[in-house]
Amino acid sequence: MAFVNELISEADKARIDWSQFKWWEYSPPHRPWMWTIDRDRDAFLIRLAPPGYDDTHTRPEVFALVLHGHVVRLEGYASGSGPGKFWDHMKWRIVKVVIPTALGQPQGDVLHLIEEALKAHGDLFDTSHLKQVDVEFAAGSASWHS
């Protein structure tokens, strides 16, 4: 099965410890209503924070990819092009990926899974207007933590 966008069921909401999903250390836990999920691979992607602005520059969007119960945190910027109201080409530029060492997966496999999830996620859980979604990882964006 591939990644799909869907509403999170009440049963799924109840089985997940949402306290581990915070935009930053002191923020309240995020409680999403929708996710991009691949049930066969026990993986899902949720958005923790939208893009924004701070004193110096634009803040990236913040996501969590959960794989076999391990949380991979990623930050990136979306851009796109196309005529009309919606983009038809979208690009994700991922600038930071923090992979837990306990996950025990090769970095390349994790990055490939992130790419698949973001392509399925599209633009706010919608790919209906997109012809193409590209994902680029900035040099040195991935790191491990314990």
Cβ neighbors of 124 (< 8 A, separation 6 or more) are none
- CA separation, residue 129 to residues 28, 108, 115, 121, 124 (Å): 33, 29, 19, 12, 12
Tell me what pLDDT residue 54 has.
60
Against a cut of 0.75, is the pTM above it? yes
State the Cα–Cα distance between residues 96 and 60, nearest whole angstrom: 10
Amino acid at 93: R
Instruction: Classify 14 as helix, strand or coil.
Output: helix
Question: Which pLDDT belongs to residue 53?
Answer: 62
Which pairing describes strands 132-137 and 89-100: parallel, antiparallel, or unpaired? parallel
Encoded tokens for 76: 């990136």
Q: Alpha-carbon dihedral of residues 69, 103, 122, 134, nearest 10 degrees? A: -170
Structure tokens at 72: 């991979």
Per-residue pLDDT of the chain (146 residues; tens, 9 = 90+): 699 999 999 999 999 988 888 777 777 777 888 999 999 999 999 998 777 666 556 888 899 999 999 999 999 999 888 877 778 899 999 999 999 999 988 899 999 999 999 999 998 888 888 899 999 999 888 887 76
Question: What residue ranges do the domains of the chain occupy?
Answer: 4-145
**pLDDT value, residue 57:** 62
